[in-house]
Structure 1
Amino acid sequence: MRTFPSPATHPRVLALLAWGVLAVSASCTGRPESEPEDDWGDSTSAVTGGNILFVGNSFTHGNEEPVYSYNKAAVTDTNGSSVGGIPGVFKKLTVQAGLAFNVSLETASGQTLGWHFANKAATIGQATWNTVVFQEQSTTPLPTARGGSPTAFTESARNLRSLVLSKNPAANLFLYETWSSPASVGAQGYPSGTAGLQAMQADLRDAYFKASRDLGFKGVARVGDGFMRAVEQGVADPNPADGLSPGMVNLWSNQDSRHSSKYGSYLSAAVLFAKITQVDPRGLATGAGSAAAELGISATEASNLHRIAYEITALADPLPPPGESTRQPVTGATFSGAVTAGTPVNLTGIAQLASLTTAEGTFTQLTGATASGITGTNAPSSRGSTPANASVAASGLGVQDGANNVGTGNFQFGTPFTAKTRFFIVDSTTTSTTLGDATTVTLVNASNQPVGSYSLSLLASDFTTSAAGTTSTALATVSYTSGVASITGTPPGTVQSKLGAVSFSLADLGVTDLTSISGATGLRLSSATLDPNVVGLYTLP
């Protein structure tokens, strides 16, 4: 983490120093959200230029002036309708920040993402797009009991994601979370007033983040959560229809209390700007020539909206709800060092784990744990120099080492965990057996004592699939040259082993509130058969 430069000193306020592999901590609906810190922004995930396309409906193009046609000359409306909208505001904010984006929009009033996929694939599926932002129709992500179709939302998001990545595998893909509104809560069966706005927004938040987790989007721009935060902080009136409270703004259109007003549209653009660029919006200008001034938003009003955009973007992503499993078998890996190509590759000497692939993506920023307290009775194996002890064998990222049949072992990372943390275990077994071992994982503190009652029972089926007598789907093979005869063979090195792995999250361990595990720094593994080669973590982008 690092301190963000003051806006007065650095107008662009760019996050230029990396967090390393850790992201901000997270929370979820019904659980307290940690407040943002002064340390903010992640340059490893920042998008600071290129060709960006916004896909959505009137919640993206704006429903009324002055937003509908704002800055239209500076953006490309792919439908030729001369729309500026929220992408036009976004473009102006990037110019103010000194960033070079080519902004385009593909929008159609009232339409779903499914409609865009069916009718606008030729526009959306172009290799030219470096970044694409998808906004679903405002009620489609809601539960079916509230008139939504979450399955249709997820399927459309999946199809569009695949379409874009098939043309540009390196494209940055974001979801644009929409907002609850005074008109929508009643129409969708929610209570009236602030309670109804909060309940509808919670459902939207859950749907957008679930889709992002399940499908592997780069992130969610929490526009709707920004609306809700403005209401909860007294910046925006929750029910302007009964008269606008002094000092508050109306985020929704006076025409229908559902679409965004100029204030809501400006806040939308500010949240999108903060999420995509990782530039602190509190440094944006509000005077003459700024987007705020051109839209008729006062400096005080704009500063409040900038602050809310900052705060909502700095919040941790929500944890998955209890019962939503994120455990994933690892389906691919790359290695550096003494590696012989093949299917799978063969580790012939000192080798390092370079990347892991799961359904969530491919990850290279891997951190290995330091092991201690291993109680297995078998001696460790090694494909190079024999490790000094079992703790050495199973630590770091060296995949040629293995601690055989660990009874219990503590693996310390020395770093806090977040909602985006994914732990992994690389396991080895002889080719003649099935890959994967039943293992109990427990969170521990720096003294190797359990933290709460958070544990996970992994099954053999959670690991990379590789049946007995085959190596075709294993991550790699290795022939150990020292250790126990059952693993090394006689003479040593004549029995081949194969590697597989599993990935899992704090949610899988039963964590629902990050504050409850603030003392956790490591994992305890307990298994009668597990041979851990590497225990580590990575962080979702």
Structure 2
Amino acid sequence: MTYRRDIGLLIVSVMLAMTPVARAQQATPAPVTQKAVAPRTILFIGNSFTQGAHSAARNWRAGTVTDLNGAGYGGVPALFKLFCDQMGLDYAVSLETQGGKTLGFHYDKRRALFDRSWDVVVLQELSVLNRDKPGDTAHYLRDVARLTSLFRARNPAVDIRLVAAWTRADQIYRPQGHWYGRPVAAMANDLRAAADGARAATRGVRGVLPVGQAWNRAMAQGVADPNPYDGIAYDQLDLWAYDHYHASVAGYYLSALVTFGAVTGIDPTTLGAKEKAADELGLSEAQAAALQRVARDTLAAEGARLTEE
């Protein structure tokens, strides 16, 4: 009996000696560690129009994205990345680009670099679709189908988007241009029709990014000048670079806004006039806000169009 009483007293003394914190720690189960959520992955495949060529956007913030070729480009992917960061979205952004090349080139020569699972893939074709036959869609349809098949084999739920690019001023206003003499919106509308055709013909392509339609809207609304060859009107933007072919910072900014809004579903105007990329690349707050409105309205029109279909 004495032995049992001593043991009991010992246990009581130990419990009394424990601090309230120590007792609480013993009574509270260990927290469950939450598994980290991996960032959403997006891959951009394209050429100089994706790279941001002939503008300050080309190598801007290249360290925030992964260039699978190690060329150090930022461009539209880096703009997309910063937009996402500002909205609290976790995207791991990669790009595989080569100036002046078609989607067929990327499939034939570079697919080992990107043959893996992605959440989102953005495909941007050569600006005239076919260098030898401008406007011809045969190779474009084939290559969209080949790339879509490759990506869906890795991830059946991959979100594939096709870029419908902008009108090249040199193709409209110069006699050697395939679209010479036609309205400034004509080339962008033809590229959009080609992208729509590729989407309709290819199971697994989720949508078309209406970049060219945003450019058309910017010009129609007086935000941007429609003809860089006769001078830029006061208080309007020049969406083209010095070659009247590639985009200026404003043009790439608008392209990235449309891509961001379409892929994430977020209204581009939510970024606001004080958006960081615009400030870093030399766009005024008024210009940033105007381009964001154009992107928003273009995407809204796309939504209405799809509803009608």
- TM bucket by the smaller chain? 0.7 to 0.9
Deviation, structure 1 residue 263: 0.3
CA change 1:87–1:191 in 2 (3 A) is same
Large movers: runs of 4+ above 6 Å: 317-320
Q: Return the alpha-carbon distance in structure 1 between the equivalents of residues 279 and 207 of structure 2.
A: 30
Query: 1:7-406 to 2 correspondence within 5 Å?
Result: 50-127=40-117, 129-140=118-129, 144=133, 147-185=134-172, 186=174, 187-192=176-181, 195-216=182-203, 217-254=205-242, 256-287=243-274, 290-316=276-302
Q: Return the alpha-carbon distance in structure 2 between the equivalents of residues 98 and 286 of structure 1.
A: 17
TM-score, normalised to structure 1, is 0.48
- 1:309-368 C-alpha deviation (Å, 9 max, x unpaired): 111111136979xxxxxxxxxxxxxxxxxxxxxxxxxxxxxxxxxxxxxxxxxxxxxxxx
Identical aligned residues as a percent: 37
- 1:27-65 C-alpha deviation (Å, 9 max, x unpaired): xxxxxxxxxxxxxxxxxxxxxx60100000000001124
Secondary structure of 1:105's counterpart equals strand
For the aligned residues, what is the CA RMSD? 2.1
CA change 1:141–1:215 in 2 (3 A) is farther
Structure 1 counterpart of 2:140, one-letter code:
F
Secondary structure of 2:302's counterpart equals coil
CA change 1:141–1:312 in 2 (3 A) is farther
Contact 1:212 1:220 in 2 (8 A): yes
Secondary structure of 1:293's counterpart equals helix
Contact 1:141 1:207 in 2 (8 A): no
Q: Return the alpha-carbon distance in structure 2 between the equivalents of residues 112 and 153 of structure 1.
A: 8
Q: Return the alpha-carbon distance in structure 2 between the equivalents of residues 314 and 234 of structure 1.
A: 19
Contact 1:143 1:203 in 2 (8 A): no
Deviation, structure 1 residue 149: 2.6
Q: Return the alpha-carbon distance in structure 2 between the equivalents of residues 79 and 190 of structure 1.
A: 33
Number of aligned residue pairs: give it.
Answer: 269
**Aligned residue for 1:504?**
none
Contact 2:41 2:119 in 1 (8 A): yes
Q: Return the alpha-carbon distance in structure 2 between the equivalents of residues 285 and 92 of structure 1.
A: 13
Deviation, structure 1 residue 83: 0.7
- 1:197-217 C-alpha deviation (Å, 9 max, x unpaired): 222122111111111122131
- 1:451-481 C-alpha deviation (Å, 9 max, x unpaired): xxxxxxxxxxxxxxxxxxxxxxxxxxxxxxx
Structure 2 counterpart of 1:136, one-letter code:
E
Structure whose residues are more often helix by fraction: 2
Secondary structure of 1:218's counterpart equals strand
Deviation, structure 1 residue 142: 9.9
Structure 1 counterpart of 2:179, one-letter code:
Y
Deviation, structure 1 residue 143: 11
Deviation, structure 1 residue 119: 0.7
Structure 1 counterpart of 2:82, one-letter code:
K
Structure 1 counterpart of 2:301, one-letter code:
L
Q: Which runs of 5+ in 1 are unaligned?
A: 1-48, 321-416, 420-541
Q: Return the alpha-carbon distance in structure 1 between the equivalents of residues 305 and 231 of structure 2.
A: 37
Contact 2:164 2:188 in 1 (8 A): no
Secondary structure of 2:41's counterpart equals strand
Secondary structure of 2:183's counterpart equals helix
TM-score, normalised to structure 2, is 0.82
Q: Return the alpha-carbon distance in structure 2 between the equivalents of residues 236 and 226 of structure 1.
A: 11
Contact 2:55 2:247 in 1 (8 A): no
- 1:2-27 C-alpha deviation (Å, 9 max, x unpaired): xxxxxxxxxxxxxxxxxxxxxxxxxx
Contact 1:142 1:207 in 2 (8 A): no
Structure whose residues are more often strand by fraction: 1
Secondary structure of 2:44's counterpart equals strand
CA change 1:268–1:157 in 2 (3 A) is same
CA change 1:276–1:101 in 2 (3 A) is same
- 1:156-184 C-alpha deviation (Å, 9 max, x unpaired): 00000001111111111110111112112
Deviation, structure 1 residue 297: 0.5
**Aligned residue for 2:7?**
none
CA change 1:82–1:113 in 2 (3 A) is same
Q: Return the alpha-carbon distance in structure 1 between the equivalents of residues 42 and 165 of structure 2.
A: 19
Deviation, structure 1 residue 79: 0.4
Contact 1:209 1:318 in 2 (8 A): no
CA change 1:258–1:240 in 2 (3 A) is same
Contact 2:55 2:241 in 1 (8 A): no
Contact 2:50 2:124 in 1 (8 A): yes
Q: Return the alpha-carbon distance in structure 1 between the equivalents of residues 92 and 143 of structure 2.
A: 25
CA change 1:210–1:141 in 2 (3 A) is farther
- 1:228-259 C-alpha deviation (Å, 9 max, x unpaired): 111111111111222110010000001x1000
